[in-house]
A and B are shown apart, each in its own frame.
Chain A
Amino acid sequence: MELYIDRDALGRALGRIQRVVEKRSTQPVLANVLLHAREGLLRLTATDTEVAYIGQVDANVSSGGEVAVEADALFRIVRKLPEPTVHLTLDDKQRLTITAGRASFTLNGLSAEEYPALPPFEARERATVRDGDLLRAIEQTAFSIATEDVRWGINGAHIEQVDTDAGPRLRLVATDRHRLATSQIPFEGQVAFPARMLVPRKALGVLQNLLSGSDDEVTLGFGEGAVQVRRDTDQFWFRLLDGEFPDYKAVIPSEHSHTMLLDRAELDATLDRVTILLTERARPVRFAFADGTLTVDVENVDRGKVEEALPCELDGEPITVGFNGRYLREVLRAVHGGRVRMQLSHALAPCLVTDPDVEDAFFVVMPMRLD
């Protein structure tokens, strides 16, 4: 193997590996990146067996070949090379020589044979979305993914196609049985796949880090047991969860006898203050909705009490409901607009939370019993 390659392009690809692939002490082989040179390209592959990265960097390849070298060491070397053009050569003892200007490193590599084979990926369907849209959908749903629930199916976000008035949308849904978050984004392509499309929490976290919020296009490929995300020449691959997502539509309330409109920032600030007095997170915050005013209070027998009133438009009879303050705040943070609408039919019924001005996301929060 012998090639010339741009230092910064190679450094960028190696940098992605640092952000994607977790290091595991029990499998040191996985700390390597597999380099594969062929006509005009250097392909880089790295994986921790849950997430995989396959990157391509243009290169002037005079002879092809492959080798696995320690990813972290190569990244640190490439970043500090003094010249922008890097010369890579591999000898027959799997030693990779990296030369740029005065600097010349030799890294001891492993035969590509030693590196585990990635599963073949075949996308059954593809959807193209905007980077910023996908980032928004993840931010609006990831917080309500269950943590290590015994029902696998809710330890990830479910992806499906829905038809809305504005046309087909790609919807992300997540729930931990106490609240549910959905967010939908426009896409191009076809995603008529069956139910099992569950992206684990960890994968969403990694993806969130990689997205920049820009208008760039990102392509999602849905395959057997995995989802592939492509942006430019970068390809990421995430293993999906193997489980059934519950029929979430069953918990979305369709009728409401009480509809409240509130200022989102005000309500959030109020909740931030009143929850100071809660010693146990699982205790409810009392919400008394009346026309014109919402009174929020917390009473803790040991500590004391707090009460705040804030303006509220109410359509329906006055009602008193208990909510988990933290859950509701997380939902409020995900509703991006200035106002928030809360709708429910009685004090123990699921409460639908939406942005009255934008229809691309909705949330359901289960109330708590007040005693």
Chain B
Amino acid sequence: MSALPLLIGHDRALAPLRRAAREGRQHHALLLQGPEGIGKRLAALHLALFGVCDAEDPAARPCGVCKACRDAMHPEHLHPDVGFVEPDPTKKTALLDVGRIRQVVSGAGLARWRGRFRTWIIDPADAMNAAAQNALLKTLEEPNPGTGFILVTARPKALLPTIRSRCLQVRLTPVPTPAIAQWLQARGVAPDDAQEAARRAGGRPGHALTLSEPEAMAHRTEARDALLRALGGTAGEMFQWGESVGKAGRTAAREALDLVDELLRDVVLQGAGGDHAARALHPDLADGFDRWVTVLWPDGVARLTDTVADARRSLDLNVSARAVMDALVLQVAAELGPARTALARRPIP
């Protein structure tokens, strides 16, 4: 069986890129953009494999089974012609600084290892600060023949216009729910669970896979309700929530931000009317949710979306998770005003 990375739902966006890669006409600077978690990184890896796969028949590339494909897909990225440039997970800040980019630039000056085309995948590209982006410009514009870059980002606006203008911009969209459900079923998830997980995942296949495990779904509902309780509680309860999430770590803090984003998305869906509400990520909140929509739609949503984006940035820059959570819950509560108690269900005694 092919060990190719899971990549579903982006056929239309990727088809021309695949065709070009198969014919050895890779673009030297791609910018893959789209929301978090929909498979941009896997799409980048998939495209990069075309340049290294050893399968004799070009139509069979990438095969995912030859040694070159396996080296490239190894968690440590062992194929030097498929280079991942990503923040160092052992460091507290999730930044790509100018030193890291200079390493890439000098690495891009070396001859290729054994592939036909070498790709550097910068993920997330918006982790580069301005100095790092400037250090990349010249090479991005005119790399050595047989070398290219794929920049991956959910926040293209965080990139310098000079970077964006040098790239072929490709927008990936959330994967349609039926496609995710079908894929989950193929992996052995029961149809009902697959439907539910796919709907809740908001177009993110990897997320759906996590949610398809019953504990994960329960954990998520529990985390959401804890936030809603805190929002409806006293200042002391809000800080208590901030403290508990902060203690659980940065991943928990990022999950809390995802949660707020999901709730805002549901506000937008319901606020916009029509049958969008049927696609809500948290349909079980429907009753009290109307009050949220009345208060937040549309200006509050815009402001809070910025709040969440700022909070993400702060986490990347190593601001304490607790401080970020404290600020978040206070701002959301302030924006909601009296509506903040609408969804604050108390645990059943």
By a beta-carbon cutoff of 8 Å, the part of chain A in contact with chain B is 25-30, 49-50, 114, 116-117, 119-120, 148, 150, 152, 155, 200, 224-226, 239-243
Using A117-B67, A148-B102, A152-B144 as known contacts, say yes or no to A240 and B80 having CB atoms under 8 A apart. no
A120 near B102 with CB under 8 A, answer no
B76 near A239 with CB under 8 A, answer no
Considering the complex, give the chain B residue whose CB is closest to the CB of A239.
B110
A25 near B90 with CB under 8 A, answer yes
Task: Tell me the bound Cα distance from A165 to B109 in angstroms.
Answer: 35
Residues on B with beta carbons closer than 8 Å to the beta carbon of A239: 110-111, 113
Residues on B with beta carbons closer than 8 Å to the beta carbon of A49: 80, 113
Q: List which B59-95 residues lie within 8 A (CB) of chain A.
A: 67-68, 71, 74, 76-80, 88, 90
Residues on B with beta carbons closer than 8 Å to the beta carbon of A152: 109, 144
Residues on A with beta carbons closer than 8 Å to the beta carbon of B114: 117, 119-120
27 interchain pairs, CB-CB under 8 A: A25-B90, A26-B76, A26-B77, A28-B76, A49-B80, A50-B110, A116-B78, A117-B67, A117-B68, A119-B113, A120-B114, A148-B102, A148-B106, A150-B138, A155-B106, A155-B109, A224-B111, A225-B111, A225-B112, A225-B113, A239-B110, A239-B111, A241-B110, A242-B110, A242-B112, A242-B144, A242-B147
Residues on A with beta carbons closer than 8 Å to the beta carbon of B113: 49, 119, 225, 239
Residues on B with beta carbons closer than 8 Å to the beta carbon of A200: 109-110
Contact partner of B144 (CB less than 8 A), chosen from A114, A116, A155, A243, is A243
A26 near B106 with CB under 8 A, answer no
Residues on B with beta carbons closer than 8 Å to the beta carbon of A225: 111-113
The smallest beta-carbon distance between B62 and chain A, in angstroms, is 16
Task: Tell me the bound Cα distance from A25 to B67 in angstroms.
Answer: 23
Going nearest first, the 8 A-B pairs with the smallest beta carbon separation are A225-B111, A119-B114, A152-B109, A116-B78, A49-B80, A242-B111, A27-B76, A116-B71
Residues on A with beta carbons closer than 8 Å to the beta carbon of B79: 116
Residues on B with beta carbons closer than 8 Å to the beta carbon of A224: 111
Residues on A with beta carbons closer than 8 Å to the beta carbon of B146: 242
B144 near A26 with CB under 8 A, answer no
Max chain A CB contacts within 10 Å: which of B79, B105, B111, B138?
A: B111
A-B contact count (CB 8 A): 63
Residues on B with beta carbons closer than 8 Å to the beta carbon of A241: 109-111
Residues on A with beta carbons closer than 8 Å to the beta carbon of B144: 152, 242-243
Task: Tell me the bound Cα distance from A225 to B146 in angstroms.
Answer: 12
Considering the complex, give the chain A residue whose CB is closest to the CB of B77.
A27
Residues on A with beta carbons closer than 8 Å to the beta carbon of B105: 148
Classify the interface of chain A: helix, strand, loop or mixed: loop
Task: Tell me the bound Cα distance from A27 to B76 in angstroms.
Answer: 5
Task: Tell me the bound Cα distance from A226 to B111 in angstroms.
Answer: 7
Residues on B with beta carbons closer than 8 Å to the beta carbon of A150: 138-139
Task: Tell me the bound Cα distance from A243 to B242 in angstroms.
Answer: 54
Task: Tell me the bound Cα distance from A226 to B80 in angstroms.
Answer: 14
Residues on B with beta carbons closer than 8 Å to the beta carbon of A243: 109, 144
The smallest beta-carbon distance between A181 and chain B, in angstroms, is 20
Task: Tell me the bound Cα distance from A120 to B67 in angstroms.
Answer: 13
Considering the complex, give the chain A residue whose CB is closest to the CB of B66.
A117
The smallest beta-carbon distance between B135 and chain A, in angstroms, is 10
Q: List which B219-276 residues lie within 8 A (CB) of chain A.
A: none
Residues on B with beta carbons closer than 8 Å to the beta carbon of A50: 110
Task: Tell me the bound Cα distance from A129 to B146 in angstroms.
Answer: 33
Considering the complex, give the chain B residue whose CB is closest to the CB of A202.
B106
Task: Tell me the bound Cα distance from A225 to B109 in angstroms.
Answer: 11
Task: Tell me the bound Cα distance from A243 to B139 in angstroms.
Answer: 13
The smallest beta-carbon distance between A48 and chain B, in angstroms, is 10
Task: Tell me the bound Cα distance from A99 to B78 in angstroms.
Answer: 32
- Known contacts A29-B78, A30-B76, A120-B114; 11 additional CB pairs below 8 A are A28-B76, A49-B80, A50-B110, A116-B71, A116-B79, A148-B102, A152-B109, A152-B144, A226-B111, A241-B111, A243-B109
Contact partner of A26 (CB less than 8 A), chosen from B88, B112, B147, is B88
Residues on B with beta carbons closer than 8 Å to the beta carbon of A148: 102, 105-106
Considering the complex, give the chain B residue whose CB is closest to the CB of A150.
B138
Residues on B with beta carbons closer than 8 Å to the beta carbon of A240: 110-111
Considering the complex, give the chain A residue whose CB is closest to the CB of B147.
A242
Q: List which B100-120 residues lie within 8 A (CB) of chain A.
A: 102, 105-106, 109-114
Residues on A with beta carbons closer than 8 Å to the beta carbon of B147: 242
